[in-house]
Every structure is written in structure tokens, then in C-alpha cells.
A and B are shown apart, each in its own frame.
Chain A
């Protein structure tokens, strides 16, 4: 055991979880305290990760590694979870899902994600992924008296368990054909064409693309996003996607590096299909959470286009896209938290009509965030797409770039439709005036980042483009 400090983040998080769990059991009506303490715990984690250092090193027979990529993704997860917990508190209290286990299960999901990202070994990777998915099943059905929430939990559980089974089958095949569970050793073993390993890779890719809801395996996304409480949907739409992308990059970068051309074809197909479906299927949606679900499928398509290049530049541009996607989605869902009329949260897009007259500030925030999601130039979303397409064109994958640009235009239609409803339709409903400081400030900050990204793109770029060095 050379250096236990490498795993200190996870130890810190798990001890925190245990203490919070005990507090929750013995202190009466402890939701507020546990919730705030969880946020505090996550803020502490950022500092712990920050001290981790930049060199790559592993412990536990090299099954757990700490490197710049994992540290960056962990910080991204911690920050986005803090903001999500921060903004969704009002929603949770209003919808009476304020059980003290809520933040604890979110923390356990984050623990699983940390292990998944840091794993350099198939077994650890699978265990981490299961810890994460198991928490997400519970979270999806946490509003257990609501039929839709329970349904989404069951649906997610059944489909995700199937995909986990396929993933595990792939892992066992990979072990059988290479004789090792360690990523580095698998990479050394897979230098020549190996049909069995390609078979295994397909199964692993199926499992992973289910987790990021890429197209042939996206069926659960709209239903689960619609059924779960909005605070959980927000978490689903942001955090597991970051993990999924990081793990896909890790798999493509380390164990499957030598069979590049084989997995590239699959990723290109998944990417193109996601982009097309995300653009076309969202057009007819009337529920804003379903719209966000299809939008996230489309965005995953663009992100995977960067991965498909197989170059370090492509991976980095995907990570940059993911970071900006996280900012946009947190902003969008914070806006959705403010859609409340007469004490009931609404999800219909038609309820937004004429918002510009009554709540001009909220309307402008919707405008900025949806323009950014559509990828309209000076905003952050444009630069995310710009870097991804740049890397795609540099790798001479013109078809991928052309499909991407076309679907961007198509998807702009439904984003602009929402903006049109907000600005040009007749006002019908009035939302409650919510004094919700965390949500308002989050909307303000995310809009600010999206608007001003083009002034200092190097702040984020320098960090991300040096990760995979």
C-alpha cells in the first residue's frame, strides 16, 4: 500500500456519508441539517481533490488510479452536484419528498461515480457503475406516492439492469480473451486483431451508451426524465452523463487504444443516430422535461462525435462540450424550477406563453440558455460545437461533420419554438413570484458564463486541453 492519499477523496466522502446517515437516524426532522451538511461535505471534496496532484499513480494493484482526467471530472461532478442540490431545495420541500435519505443517496451515487472514473480495472469499474446505477434507481422512484415516479423507477431499473448484464458479459469476455482485468494489461494484450475482444468491446459499448442514453439505447430517457421529480431529472441529465463520457474516453484511450478502427465505426454510428433522433423527435414534445430529454440525447450525439475521432484533441473537445453542456443544463433546469403556478409545478411548454410580458428577466434567461443549447454564435453552446466539429474535420470525417451541422439546424427549430412561445404568444398563465435566491443566482451565473465565454475561452480550454496531454 504505497500511498493511501490517492483514495483519500473516496474515504473522506464515505466517512461523511456514514456520519450523515447516523445523524439522520438519530436527529428528528433532520432533512434541512443533512441537506446543508451534504452540500458542505461536497464543498470540502473540491479542496480534497484539488490537493491530489497532477501525476498519474495507482494503488490496489493498479486498479484505482488518480490522474488529471479523473480529478477534473470529479471536480466537475462535485461542483455540478453542489449547484443542483443548492437550486433544488425549494422544489424538494414543495413536493414533500424531503426525506433525509435524499441527499445521502445522491452522495452515494457520487461515490460510485468517483470509483467508476478512477477505475483502472474492470471489476472496480463495474462495482462503481453498479453503486451509481443502484442509487439512481432509488432516486428515480423517490416520490413513491406518485404513480409516474414509481413507473419511471421500475422502467429505469429493468432496462438498466439489462444493460448492466450486457456490460458484465462484455467484461467477462474481455477477461477471457485477454487474461487480465487491468486496463493497461488488456491494452498490452490487444495488439493484434482479436475477434473475441471486439465482441466484448461491442457489449461494453452497449452498456456504456445505455448509461449516457445514446441512440439505439435511449428509449428509457424521455419516460424516466418525465416521471422522476424535476430535481432528480436535473441530476440525471447532468452528472451521470459526465461519468459516462469520461468512462467511454477512458475505455477508448487505454484498453481499446490499439483496435481504434473497430470501435470508431460503432461510435460514429451511435453519434449520427443520436444527433438525428435528438433533433427530429424533440419537435413534437409538449412537456419541457421530455424536450430536455431529447435535447440531451442530441447533445450526447455531438459529444460522441468528438470521441469518434480517436485523437486526444477530439477527446478534449468532447470534455469541453460536456462542461458547457453541464452549465447550460443546470441553467435550463433552474429556469424550470421557477415554473410554478398556484403552488403547483408545471411542465407544459404551453404554460410558458407570453412569459416575456410578466417575467421579462426569466424570459431573457430562457432565451439565452435555449439559444446556447441551439448553438447560436456568441454564446457558449456555439463554441462547444465549434471545437467538436473542428476536431472532426481535422480527422477528415466529413460525413460526421455534415450530419452534425444539419441536425444542429433542425434542432434549432424546437429551441427557437420555445423562445417564440415565450416572446410572441399570448399570455395565459401567471407564475408565482418565487423568492428563490439560489435558483435565481444560479440562472444569473450560468447565463453570465454562457454570454462571456467567448471573451476568455482560454480559461476553460487550457485546463481541458492539457488533461490528456
Chain B
């Protein structure tokens, strides 16, 4: 239990710290890196409460795809260095409005969470049968590959189509491009590539004839 508590505070601390760093760091690339760190820590928190599927999905989708995409965009747009900062130099004009929005959101959350009340019989009102012996991933997989196999496969076909569509609309076969041909390289033989010539003294040899 002590280890559990320790790791909870460890990951939460990193999550909060990196979330703060995302919005305060001057370098946009650093912000994206801290965003990735934030996602990873939150994913670890999910795994700690037993939602391992959600945690892994967070890692794969957000870290693997979304954050890397952010990084590409940031690098391509060349906005690495922010002109205005929070504390040093010229003060940003966005900060007051941002603070106001943040405070309003905080108040709204207070109202929602403060007024939160569960139904009396919340624990047994669900009609879902939850098997405590198997993990989340196992449970999701066992319905996805049996009852919902048709939807799953059809989604796969849609992804296949989007791939074909993207290729057909953007791919251009360019002429006269010099590409490396491994087969040609490997199948070259000494006889076809080297020619031995007897060089006469003081006459040299004619190349390219």
C-alpha cells in the first residue's frame, strides 16, 4: 500500500509539473516534449487504477500519434521560440484573458463536482455483467472479436479505403528518378564491370570509345 501511495504521488507530481511546464516554457518544442511526458504520466496513473487498456491507448494514440504530429507541426512552422513570455521581458497580452477563462472553468468545475450526487442504488443499477477475473483488454477483446466482429472488420475496410484513396490522390510516379536497385548491384559481376587493358608505354589508353 505504501508503494502504491508513493507511485501515485510520484506520477501525479510529474503530471502536474509537466502540465505547468507545457504552458510556461518559452520554447515550443520543449512544450511538446513536456506534453508527451504529461501523457505518459497520466497513462501510468490509469494503469495504476486498473484501467490498463485506457492507459495503453493513451500512450499509443496520444504519445505515438498526436504528440508526434504536434512536434512535426511545430518544427515545420518554425515557431520554436515564443516571442512573448510569462515572466521575463515584454509581457504577453493574452495572459489576462487566459487567466479569466481558466478561473471561470475552475468555478464551473467546482459547481459541477460540488453538486455531484450519485443515485442511491448506483452500484447495482448497471445492467452490465462485469467479470472481475479478467482484465479490461481481455473483456473488450472478447466482445470485439465475437459479437462485434462485423463492425470491427468493416472499420478495417474503411481504413484500407482511406489508405488507397490517399495514395491515389497524392502519389505521382516521377520519371527519370535515379533509384538504387539492390538486385542490379548484387548481381553485378567482375567480368561485366571491370575491363583489363594492356597499356602501352608512353601512349596511354583511350577511354569512352
Question: Does chain A bind chain B?
Answer: yes
Using CB atoms and an 8 Å cutoff, list the residues of chain A in contact with chain B: 7, 14, 21, 60-61, 63-64, 99, 101, 104-105, 108, 111, 115, 123-124, 127-128, 130-131, 134-135, 137-138, 141-142, 144
- Which of B102-110, B117-125, B153-161 makes up part of the contact surface? B153-161
Stretch of B3-11, B92-100, B128-136, B163-171 with 4 or more beta carbons under 8 angstroms from chain A: B163-171
Across the interface, which residues of B come within 8 angstroms of A14, CB to CB?
A: 157
B162 at the interface (CB under 8 A from A): yes
Task: Specify which of B149, B157, B165 is in contact with A105 (CB 8 Å cutoff).
Answer: B165
**What are 26 of the A-B contact pairs (CB < 8 Å)?**
A14-B157, A60-B150, A63-B150, A64-B150, A101-B164, A101-B168, A104-B164, A105-B161, A105-B164, A105-B165, A108-B157, A108-B161, A108-B164, A123-B151, A124-B151, A128-B154, A130-B158, A131-B161, A134-B162, A134-B165, A137-B165, A138-B161, A138-B168, A138-B169, A142-B168, A142-B169
- Give the distance to chain B from A152, nearest Cβ to Cβ, in Å: 13
Inter-chain contacts of A101 with B (CB < 8 A): 164, 167-168
User: Are A60 and B154 touching (Cβ within 8 A)?
Assistant: no
Interface size class of B (residues with CB under 8 A): 10 to 19
A127-B162 CB under 8 A given contacts A101-B168, A105-B168, A138-B168: no
Q: A175 CB to closest chain B CB, in angstroms? A: 14
C-alpha spacing A135/B164, complex, angstroms: 10
B147 to chain A: which residues have CB within 8 Å? 60-61
Asked if residues B150 and A134 are in contact (CB atoms below 8 Å), the reply is no
Would B169 and A144 count as touching, CB distance under 8 A?
A: yes
Taking the nearest CB of chain B, how far is it from the CB of A224, in angstroms?
A: 16
CA of A127 to CA of B149, assembled, Å: 13
Known: A105-B168, A111-B157, A123-B151. 13 other contacts (CB 8 A): A21-B164, A60-B147, A60-B149, A101-B164, A105-B161, A105-B165, A124-B154, A127-B155, A135-B161, A138-B164, A138-B165, A138-B168, A141-B169
Contact between A99 and B168 (Cβ–Cβ < 8 Å)? Answer: yes
Q: How far is the CA of A60 from the CA of B149 in the complex (A)?
A: 8
CB atoms of B158 and A134 under 8 A apart? yes
Rounded to whole Å, the gap between the CB of A207 and the closest CB of chain B is 17
CA of A14 to CA of B149, assembled, Å? 15
Contact of A131 among B149, B158, B169 (CB under 8 A): B158
